A and B are shown apart, each in its own frame.
Chain A
């Protein structure tokens, strides 16, 4: 129902640069996720769009209208806190009808809208309950109902599932997205959970230390990460540093430690460049025999872990490096054991090549 545009938005807190020249466009009805580690500036960005905070520089446009200095109540952008912020002294009904009451609609219209929306979120019968009597999932639905009833055009979600159990989150993510799409709301959803973002977003903006590193559809971000940080943060990968030893129009060859050579399809870079090769865990295949056209290395399984429906294997390669492979359990096929010798294969297409980062590799991929 509304589009949002940020032009060169900058915000400082004392000497800390929270947001650094952010440029962002959100289309009408789009579901955008802002993804990044804690402290990246995500909440600050959301608050600026809501009007709860003014940028030091730059402009914010909602529906083509410049809204710098416009108070929150005139922006129609509803902010949903992580713990929902349902007014504790009001019933569910009163919470949901808050917006319409403020807008001074007729009592009949208020009643109709409120009951309709409560029905829609399947809480029609809990109108007289108080927030503290409801479960986390229900509270979230009330908060959503409240936002919709208030006539929100833009929904700003600040870690909406942070307060909920992990297992609950998975179910609620898709429900929330459906509801929001049905209403045609433009949604900006802030989170540090990349699985969540990948599942619900139309587009994802990766925010790091106040800057947008990359924006794109979940697919793009996943298959074409533009930096090591993005690749590591979203989906994770195996990273190896090496030196380019050969380049031609089909690809390049990169030398790793201990004499291992990897073929890639990347044609950028020159011989002698120090680079980092990255391969997604799920693109690393473990076989009994070599695969034609693939890079094939011999290794021994050092550790076996079971993670959420997949098996993760850590394989020690001949040159001492370790590589991780993640294989979805498909109910058939054997599970390998520690000590098994396998052939580690990955296709040159799946090798991303990045220039070696100035700050060092660890800085880019380290989480703690």
Chain B
């Protein structure tokens, strides 16, 4: 039949086409930065190490910045783990009213515009519009650069990074725990172990791969966080912010060098851990467990028994508090501030300090807001669509070919390399200094957004795929007479529909809120989050308030849509 012959041709072409598109649009930009550094080594050497004016000052700066970034990210991840693992357990195992809301709150940082969120956190903690005002202080609770004791990292910066990386830990660990048969825990309890003992002996070891994975993702995400960091970093500089700064000063080789380093670090961390985890079980060498003296062990067991009964509720409350403090409050503050600042600055009464004035008066930010909205939506739409077209066949390839796991691991990288690195890479690859196919502007933004959208959609599709027993249905369809293409079309795709839609909405929202990379490649086309950064730097705080709110509300709506879709 003509149709089946065409289908046959299609199925033969689809794999190589998809792979090629993947390599060109997604892989290349992620890696280009590294090759750029090698290709332009003399320039890099000149600027960073052997600068005629400042010697290797830049190199020293780079090291200092990297160390600071590492410190920040490690502490954020540690914090995430301590409070995220109990939260993941609750979300995975318990049912309670409002659970959906809690899950959404935890997912929120994944999609909200980072610059808007950064701004919200800023005013919450450092100005009277936030908590400070509520407590009747004359200034914010902390100042921009107040450090967290011991770790010596600015509080506001720290809490922003915690909020933004929290979901990586919680969701990954939650998924892992959900995949572990609850019967193991019940068996442990019937054998006499209290809930806490069960957690320590059974659940923790079995969910270790998820914990590792989540921690690694969170660490890399923190390293690469740009958008919010740009707003709250104060006098400190993180690696990703440095890239933006140097790029805007046209010190491209230095920026590329730092960017390349970050990409390298991301690869070096992710690949071995994913490979190790993917290999399967972590066998506990139980015969040789670390020896804990018998009486200590007995005390531990007693404590666990006591805690299981009396103190259990604590593990529920504290992570909740964290979520509220780090995520909910800043958003609430922003929303309320919009109302306060609507017509005029509440303190000075000056209309020029009010939102209405800034939007519709002489500064006329409203105009730029409309244009930016248009740009943002077009970019988000097109990049999501193209990413979806690549992701669907790519997901199938990952699940069915022997090299699928390698492919999947490779996909983790665009998710975590600093968005500024990514932007820089795309610009250097396709722009005037590279292949010179596209100039900065809307198309380059689109290309950049495709790179991080594809992994998001793929992960979402794979999650739906692996839960659905698709292969069995497809095989049934095949033996009933459907050819491969037909089977996928009529059986498999409908079954993973939920994953496709969820992934697309997620990526659309991400794209709306993406700041770091867009900043570098945007040329003259401005998206909404970039607008926020501009407004803040132009000290048009009320306008920034409004825009952030606007963006946050959009994201919230998107998330609600996801919940509706997945409920069906």
Contact = CB atoms under 8 A, between A and B. Distances in A.
* A–B touching in complex (CB under 8 Å): yes
Interface of A: 50-52, 71-73, 75-81, 85, 87-89, 98-99, 102-104, 146-147, 150-152, 156
Interface in B454-505: 469, 472-473, 475-484, 486, 490-491, 494-495
A127 B514 CA distance: 49
B472 A72 contact: no
A72 B478 contact: yes
A103 B480 CA distance: 10
B480 A98 contact: yes
Nearest to A80: B476
Given A98-B480, A150-B481, A72 B473 contact: no
Contacts of A146: 480
B478 A102 contact: no
Contacts of B472: 81, 85
B475 A99 contact: no
5 contacts: A50-B479, A71-B483, A72-B479, A89-B495, A98-B480
Nearest to B484: A71
Contact of A73 (B473, B482, B490, B491): B482
Contacts of B478: 51-52, 71-73
A76 B478 CA distance: 10
Contacts of B476: 79-81, 85, 87
Nearest to A143: B476
A78 B480 contact: yes
Contact of B481 (A87, A88, A102, A156): A102
Contact of B479 (A52, A87, A103): A52
Contacts of A99: 480-481
B477 A98 contact: yes
Nearest to B8: A71
Contacts of A156: 479
Contacts of A72: 475, 478-479
A99 B475 CA distance: 13
Given A73-B483, A150-B481, A151-B481, A79 B475 contact: yes
Contact of B486 (A77, A80, A102, A151): A102
Contacts of A81: 472, 475-476
A154 B489 CA distance: 25
Nearest to A98: B480
A161 B12 CA distance: 38
B255 to A, nearest CB: 49
Given A89-B494, A99-B480, A156-B479, 9 more contacts: A51-B479, A52-B479, A73-B481, A75-B479, A85-B469, A98-B482, A102-B481, A103-B481, A152-B480
A73 B479 contact: yes
B99 to A, nearest CB: 24
A151 B3 CA distance: 20
A52 B475 contact: yes
Pick the most buried of B475, B483, B495: most chain A CB atoms within 10 A of its CB. Answer: B475
A85 B473 contact: yes
Nearest to B482: A102
Question: Closest 6 CB pairs between A and B?
Answer: A72-B478, A79-B479, A85-B476, A150-B480, A102-B482, A102-B481
B479 A88 contact: no
A180 to B, nearest CB: 16
Given A85-B473, A87-B473, A89-B494, A78 B479 contact: yes
Contacts of A51: 478-479
Interface in B1-26: 1, 3
A4 to B, nearest CB: 14
B56 to A, nearest CB: 54
Contacts of A73: 478-483
A103 B85 CA distance: 52
A156 B486 CA distance: 22
A78 B472 CA distance: 13
Nearest to A81: B472
Nearest to A101: B490
A136 B177 CA distance: 30
Q: Which of B1, B477, B481 lies at the interface centre, i.e. has the most chain A CB atoms within 10 A of its CB?
A: B481
A36 to B, nearest CB: 22
Nearest to B3: A104
Contacts of A89: 494-495
B519 to A, nearest CB: 43
Given A72-B475, A79-B475, A85-B473, A147 B495 contact: no
Interface in B150-193: none
Contacts of A147: 480
A98 B477 CA distance: 8
Nearest to B477: A98
B180 to A, nearest CB: 22
A310 to B, nearest CB: 35
* Most-contacted residue by chain B among A73, A75, A80 (CB, 10 A): A73
Interface string B400-438: 000000000000000000000000000000000000000
Contacts of B473: 85, 87-88
Contacts of A80: 476
A361 B481 CA distance: 47
Contacts of B479: 50-52, 72-73, 75, 77-79, 156
Contact of B495 (A71, A88, A103, A152): A88
Nearest to A82: B472
Interface string B68-100: 000000000000000000000000000000000
Nearest to A146: B480
A125 B136 CA distance: 71
Contacts of A79: 475-476, 479
Nearest to A150: B480
A73 B479 CA distance: 5
A152 B481 CA distance: 9
A150 B479 CA distance: 9
A102 B486 CA distance: 8
Max chain A C-beta neighbours (<10 A), residue from B479, B482, B486, B494: B479
A88 B481 CA distance: 18
A77 B495 CA distance: 24
A361 B3 CA distance: 59
B445 to A, nearest CB: 37
A87 B491 contact: yes
A286 to B, nearest CB: 43
A151 B486 CA distance: 17
A151 to B, nearest CB: 7
A78 B482 CA distance: 11
A367 B477 CA distance: 36
B70 to A, nearest CB: 42
A87 B3 CA distance: 23
Nearest to B483: A73
B476 to A, nearest CB: 4
A55 B41 CA distance: 54
Contacts of A102: 477, 480-482, 486, 490
Q: By CB atoms of chain A within 10 A, which of B3, B469, B478 has the most? A: B478
A147 B477 CA distance: 10
Contacts of B495: 88-89
Nearest to A77: B479
A129 to B, nearest CB: 18
Contacts of B483: 71, 73
A96 to B, nearest CB: 10
Contacts of B1: 104
Contacts of A104: 1, 3
A248 to B, nearest CB: 57
Nearest to B472: A85
A285 to B, nearest CB: 46
A51 B478 CA distance: 9
A98 B495 CA distance: 16
Contacts of B3: 104
Contacts of A150: 480-481
Contacts of A75: 479
A102 B1 CA distance: 12
A301 B494 CA distance: 63
Interface string B288-322: 00000000000000000000000000000000000
